[in-house]
Amino acid sequence: MTKTAFITGIAGQDGAYLAQFLREKGYSVHGLVRWDSYSDPLDGLARLDALGLVGEDVRLHMGDVTDANNLNLLIREIRPDEIYNLAGLSQVQVSFETPASTLQINTAGTLNILDAVRVNGLENYTRVYQASSSEMFGKARAPQNEDTKMEPCSPYGVAKLASYHLVKSYRESYGMYAANGILFNHESPLRGEDFVTRKITKAVAAVEAGSNDVLRLGNLDSVRDWGDARDFVAGMWAILQRGAPDDYVLATGEAHSVREFAQAAFAHVGISLEWRGAGVDEKGVEVKSGRVLVEVDRQLFRPSEVHHLLGDAAKARDILGWAPKTTFEGLVAAMVNADRAALRLDGGASWSMAG
């Protein structure tokens, strides 16, 4: 029998890849789209479009996770077998500037979904996946797994941690199938340009195409466990297929600094970088020409930084049989190549290093 999935945040990177993954598995896919994406489909739905998911492939519903009534009615109408709550404000930096709306969207939004399932009497029918985040670990020592004490240090991390506990609470109180996927950073060519990986790969493609701009970055020492979003959406699905709900870390188990990511991305187009100076004066310099390609911009530092995220996904490997397929080098190459191809397509006319 055809299963029905409802994805909030379907217009984002993970939403689009998950929709594609579930369609390939034969699911009927519904997605929640905010009015601004809905009313500007050319821009707002670009990722779904890029994956060829148009028309009949996904049924889009206009709405917002902060609107409890809207969600209630939609969930009653769709009666999904599985809900993937991927909606949210996903930029950690932005959460320092908009902490109240971050909590509204990333915590109250989760509560609205859990409650809509409950009040519609679907607690024994609908399974709920919650997009929890490694940002919840915050200052906790690496490597981090499901048993690591969480010490979030951003409004984003705090909001996600509250949602994580709501999921556990609904699971225990109402017997709901609600599960947290604690995902470490996951990237792709569809990643937003305000995240550091995509900002770097776009800049590298531009430099190769002749740009004279300097890539301005914040904390180069920050270490992340970067995986491929396409591997991670398969893990989200696997989390909802077990007999009993549980929480799982999804990560690659390999971590690199922002500096190393930039170095690898430039190396992919044949540019060898060396680092000179320290702190805010550090620069990434092309070895061959001595040209400065990367500078540090103190404006991009966060009020409080998560320095080292490195995931231990042994539980997901042992219980779900999940393991990422893409290597760090493969991810960097795929992202740089996609940005090179995009530049060739638009003739190199429009790109910006803002973000």
Tokens of 175: 């017997």
Separation between Cα atoms, residue 105 and residue 335, nearest integer Å: 29
Distances 355 to 100, 104, 108, 315 between C-alpha atoms, Å: 22, 24, 27, 35
| DSSP-derived secondary structure letter, 104 | I
| 161 lies in the site for ligand G4F, by CB under 6 A | no
- The H-assigned helical ranges of the chain are 13-24, 35-39, 41-44, 46-50, 68-78, 92-97, 99-103, 109-119, 155-174, 196-208, 229-239, 258-268, 314-315, 328-345
Applying CB under 6 A, which of residues 61, 127, 224, 340 lies at the interface with ligand G4F? 224
Applying CB under 6 A, which of residues 195, 211, 238, 315 lies at the interface with ligand G4F? 195
Interface with ligand G4F by CB under 6 A: which range of 61-69, 114-122, 131-139, 344-352? 131-139
| 203 lies in the site for ligand G4F, by CB under 6 A | no
| 96 lies in the site for ligand G4F, by CB under 6 A | no
What are the b/e assignments for 269-285, b being 16+ CB within 10 Å? Answer: bebebeeeeeeeebebb
Tokens of 212: 């004279």
H/E segment holding residue 152? none
Side-chain-facing half-sphere of 166: CA atoms under 13 Å: 23
Task: For ligand G4F, give the closer residue by CB, 93 or 169.
Answer: 93
| DSSP-derived secondary structure letter, 144 | B
| 95 lies in the site for ligand G4F, by CB under 6 A | no
| 213 lies in the site for ligand G4F, by CB under 6 A | no
| 263 lies in the site for ligand G4F, by CB under 6 A | no
Q: How far is the CB of 134 from ligand G4F (least distance, A)?
A: 4
Distances 260 to 91, 113, 204, 257, 296 between C-alpha atoms, Å: 21, 39, 14, 5, 14
How many residues at the interface with ligand G4F, by CB under 6 A? 23
Q: How far is the CB of 326 from ligand G4F (least distance, A)?
A: 16
Applying CB under 6 A, which of residues 133, 148, 263, 326 lies at the interface with ligand G4F? 133
At position 311, the amino acid (one-letter code) is G
At position 219, the amino acid (one-letter code) is N
Binders in 293-312 for ligand G4F, by CB under 6 A = 300, 302, 305, 309
Task: For ligand G4F, give the closer residue by CB, 71 or 136.
Answer: 136
Task: For ligand G4F, give the closer residue by CB, 111 or 353.
Answer: 353
| 258 lies in the site for ligand G4F, by CB under 6 A | yes
Interface with ligand G4F by CB under 6 A: which range of 104-112, 193-201, 202-210, 284-292? 193-201
Task: For ligand G4F, give the closer residue by CB, 31 or 181.
Answer: 181
Q: Could you give the 3-state DSSP secondary structure of residue 4? A: strand
| 283 lies in the site for ligand G4F, by CB under 6 A | no
Interface with ligand G4F by CB under 6 A: which range of 74-82, 194-202, 236-244, 280-288? 194-202
**Positions in the binding site for ligand G4F (CB under 6 A):** 90, 92-93, 133-135, 184-185, 194-197, 199, 217-219, 222, 224, 258, 300, 302, 305, 309
